[in-house]
Structure 1
Amino acid sequence: MELYENKSSKHNDSITYCLDSIFTNDQVDYRLYGNLPISTFGILINLINIIIFSHADMRRSLVNLFLLAISISDLLLLIFNFFFLLFPLIALFSNSFILYDTYPLILRYSYPLARIAQTCGVYLTLSVSVHRYLGVCHPFQAKRWITGKPVKYAIFGSVIFSFVINATTWLELTVVQCYSNEYHRFSRHIQLTELQMDYTYGIVMKVITYTLVMFIFPFLILIIVNTRIIVALKHSTNMRALNASGKSLLPKTITSPRNNQNKMAIILNSSSTTTGSQFSSTNTNSLRPIVTRAPKSISNLQSAARDSSVTMMLLAIVAMFLTCNGLAFCNNIIEILIFVDKIDNSENESAFEKSVEIANILVSLNSSTSIFIYLIFSSKYRTIVKEYLGLQNVDKAYSGTLSAATITVRHTFDYPFLMHDRISSRGYLSKSTKSRLSTTLRFPISSKHI
């Protein structure tokens, strides 16, 4: 974020005149045609996010509490940035003295509030990344450490820290009286305070504190934590694939052809009333895993897929955050070098000014595009959106076909020994026996496992 310089002039010792033009053409273009539409869109999007994450089904997840807090901080950042960056332009081009006289007061208070919201968003993103890191890389410890209270403490701690670290920003701007040549009357103007222009204060707050708190520390932690998450996720995926390839639904006790024939003979030589009991008593060890293992396997796969989706969603959020804030970090380094007189900015002032405006647009973009990540990776988010839009019946039209296909696939993999090459249905089974066997082996499948 940029500050407004002391752009007022004194024609004599008693009267201070307001400058009519305090923005360059590049600043006007970037803010009106770049930042304004993105900020307007982002405000609407974050209102939607807050409504969705406030839903009772979404509040059950601790991750969603973080995402709700991030949506609130993004909304506040966009609102305060609007009054800090865009409202002064609107006031100056409106030809309204009321807006012209009011915008310095609004800017005076929107600047520190925007800084607080930005800091809060950074550390909420950091908190949710650490939260996911513990869940992925230290799952057993996370069950004891990560509960509702620590998550709420992390959220409130981020808010309090943001207010404390930006406490001095309230003293960096002031509103002074000046005479407007355009309106031919006294008005007000914004300018920097002596504290903000103090060299020692600039070294401590800009060079050290702001750079460490807003860039070095969070960027470093986010990169380390999310790299560990990616490595753990890749390792988990490889292990799951290896486990799935080596696992068989058929127990070793029934892999022998002779064993299969003996058990099939028991079924074929028994009456229909005793087939089920004899089969279960002689094949207890082989049949029972078939009934219980399939739903458990499907449930585990669903849970793993859901956890993987949440992890990928948070990785996408962090990647978007780092990408959109990277230019602001580079601008901060350049600004530090200019401040300590290490480089001369007089020749490249226009280029640096454009870079600052582009960085502001990227910050607004980061706060405005999270809905696309949620829609891609969160099935529950999509479900609630469909519910609010009245589109929940669209999926139900295909549920019958999908359920039938799922049942067919499950029956195919639940009973693979019926497909064994050594047991021919033509040699052993008559039509009536096939029907009796099919009835005996068909088990009800709960819809919640499908």
Structure 2
Amino acid sequence: MRSAALSCPFALTRLFSLLAHDQQLRAYMPAQVLLNESVERVGELDVPLCGQLPNDWSTWGFVVNGIVTTIFVCLGIVGNLYHVRTLGKHSNSRLTRYLRVLCIWDVTLLTCTFGFYGFVVISTGYKPWYGDITYLYMVFYPLCQVSWTGSMFVVTAISAERYLAIARPFRKLLSEARSVTKICLLLLVAVMLINLPTFFELTQVSCYDEETNREERMIWLSSLRLNKTYMLIYRIIIYPLTVNFIPFITIVFLTIKTISVRRSAISRSQNTQSLSPSLPAKQDSGTTAVLTALIVKFLLCYSMPTILYVFEYSENEELNSRLIDISNFLIVFHSATNWLIFWRWNVNKSSRSLTQSFIFTKEEAARLTYLWANTRPTEVGRDLLYTLIRANRSLALIFANNPPNQTAVKQPRDNATTNGHLCDCRLSESSRSPACEHNIQLLAKVDSHGVIVGIFCDRIIQRLSSKLEQQAIIDEIRALGRIHYSNRVPMRNTDWMLAKQYLIAKLVKDECDIDAEDIRIVNKFASFLIHEVKCGRTCAIAAEASVAYGFYPSSAYTHA
């Protein structure tokens, strides 16, 4: 019989049975290697007989623990090392740093697993309990525990990172990427402290080998591991809680909360969706899907070791052995295949600024320029501004000299009020209501600002065809967003949607045949403008919050 404690560094035997009696503990150790079971006189010393190779060692164990495990270990080490190098090549974001750390833990876990039993089974055909090769158990057993715990903790951190990115985006924005290094170092310290006792759980004792007629060194549980108090406090209470149950439950909870918050956000923004899903939305959805797949795969592969902590093994010895092998292989499979998800996701490309998705081709820029040439920029700017003011009359207060709480521009009660007539005076001077004349200064400001809006759009469109101007365009639009925030421009999501619909209607309405491609291009341009203005506002909010919290503005949002 093989020991669950020795043959599996992850799934231990049923915990409470280990405290009951020494005789019950013997049921979980190989019968051939029990101390004081058989004693041979060697010189003046009494030593136990060495453990013998079980006669029922199956092909199953050799194939799963040896051949299959080794194949996946090699695949996983190569893939994870490749992504350790490439994940941070084009981006140094918080997420990519976490993923690189996860790849490092996966490489460590796979290496230790191979050293603990993969190499042993491949080289000997079985798992020996004595001889020089058992020194590998002494080295890799605690390292397997450490790497397993580290992998779980990093996945937990990734789950928390994704939840905060969706539920608390501004608070996350204040956190610089380098703080991930500090968090991972703290996790490493916690992992080492939790697993420190495992370095002292195995020992070696002398035994007598009847085949070679000489004394050998045999692997055995240390006195610490056999101590009932240690088993109760550490193996039954502390270790399962900190390594299995708390991380597992936390990951499940955060995953459910992340999905719930994201669905709520999508539901709230239904009114602001473009005619087709925007590229940033698709990209963020892809990121969420990939991380969700990573976490779900983790939960599926790590659920069996957790279950084996709770439920008692079957009395069928062969079934117990296979459950241990399957549990071990699932963990190896998880660590060996994570990089396939990252590769499929193409994280290097996805981690770049979302604005890269808005780069216009020469054909798109040329078509947009043609459509824009059929309009009058200043007229478009004025009409757009009046359209927005009519839908959101609080925007008119921005152009008044008095603050919003004063009554120079009163809130409308009916169509005869100042604001109501202001919204009716949105085209030419000839169509303006006489009731607006007393507020001519305010109207002049709106007209003047509308001209600025039109000229601004014209300048942006004329420069889109030049790739060299892309970053300058982005910086200019984001500067506008920061100005909007500093002046507290009350733009709602419905206002952005209205502006997008106006631009689409204005640029394609004069065409004889409304082309879906034209709508797509104009929609892309409008989405680009709105996205970058919002980015500028977000940068301003984050910079202001950083001062309030005592942080220095990070380049992550001051030069986003």
Normalising to structure 2: TM-score of the pair? Answer: 0.55
Q: Number of residues paired by the alignment?
A: 348
Q: For residue 225 of structure 1, what is the aligned residue in structure 2?
A: 254
Matches within 5 A, 1:211-360: 211-245=240-274, 301-334=278-311, 337=312, 345=314, 347-360=315-328
Map of 1:351-370 to 2, 5 A cutoff?
351-370=319-338
Quote how far apart the aligned CAs of 1:147 are. 1.7
Aligned partner of 1:443 in structure 2 is 462
What per-residue deviation string (whole Å, max 9, x for no partner) do you get for residues 23-70 of structure 1? 832433321243222122111111112121253x23x21111111111
Q: Which of 179, 195, 198 is matched with 1:169 structurally?
A: 198
Q: Which amino acid aligns with 1:198?
A: N
Q: Secondary structure at the match of 1:188?
A: strand
Correspondent of 2:38 among 2, 6, 10? 10
Structure-1 separation of matches of 2:198 and 2:283:
42
* C-alpha spacing 1:101/1:115, structure 2 compared with 1 (3 Å): same
Partner of 1:154: 183
* Structure 2 unaligned spans of 5+: 8-28, 353-358, 377-457, 475-523, 525-560
Distance 1:105-1:380 versus aligned 2 partners, 3 A rule: same
Alpha-carbon separation, structure 1, partners of 2:264 and 2:372:
28
The Cα of 1:212 is off from its aligned counterpart by: 1.1
Which of 25, 35, 41 pairs up with 2:69? Answer: 35
CA contact (8 A) 1:375 1:381 kept: no
Distance 2:367 2:303 in 1: 48
Change (3 A) 1:412 1:33: farther
Structure 2 residue identity aligned to 1:17: L
Tell me what 1:403 maps to: 361
1:129 to 124, 139, 159: 159
The 3-state SS of whatever aligns with 2:6 is coil
SS in 2 for 1:12: strand
Closer, same or farther: CA 90–381 of 1 in aligned 2, 3 Å: farther
The answer on whether the counterparts of 1:77 and 1:114 sit within 8 Å (CA) in structure 2 is yes
| Mapped partners of 2:370, 2:252: distance in 1 | 45
1:24 paired with 2:57, answer yes
What amino acid is aligned across from residue 315 of structure 1 in structure 2? Answer: T
Aligned counterpart, 1:430: none
- The answer on whether the counterparts of 2:62 and 2:125 sit within 8 Å (CA) in structure 1 is no
Residue by residue, what CA displacement relative to the aligned partner does 1:142-162 show, whole Å, maximum 9, x if unpaired? 222x22343222101111111
Letter in 2 for 1:380: N
* Contact in 1 for aligned 2:103/2:339 (Cα 8 Å): no
* CA distance in 1: counterparts of 2:5 and 2:374, whole angstroms: 68
Q: Distance in 2 between matches of 1:152 and 1:441?
A: 40
1:374 maps to 2:407: no
Instruction: Give the drift of 1:167.
Output: 0.9
The structural deviation recorded for 1:197 is 2.5
CA distance in 2 between partners of 1:414 and 1:15 (Å) = 94
**Hey, what's the Cα distance between the residues in 1 that align with 2:370 and 2:248?**
50
CA distance in 1 between counterparts of 2:38 and 2:213 reads 15
Higher RCO (CA-CA < 8 Å; seq separation 6+): 1
Tell me which residue corresponds to 2:84. 50
Deviation, structure 1 residue 81: 0.9
Q: Which amino acid aligns with 1:322?
A: L
Identity of aligned residues (%): 20
Partners of 1:306 and 1:182 in 2: CA distance: 65
| Distance in 2 between residues matched to 1:206 and 1:171, nearest whole Å | 13
Is contact 1:91-1:103 (8 Å) kept? no
Change (3 A) 1:409 1:317: farther
Equivalent AA in structure 2 for residue 360 of structure 1: N
- Once residues 281 and 256 of structure 2 are traced to their aligned partners in structure 1, the CA distance between those partners, rounded to angstroms, is 20
TM-score by length of 1: 0.68
1:115 to 127, 135, 145: 145
Structure 2 Cα separation of the partners of residues 355 and 412 of structure 1: 68
Distance 1:102 1:444, change over 3 A: same
Distance change in 2, residues 1:107/1:228 (3 Å)? same
- Equivalent AA in structure 1 for residue 262 of structure 2: L
> Residue 19 of structure 1: SS of its match in structure 2?
coil
The amino acid that maps onto 2:462 is F
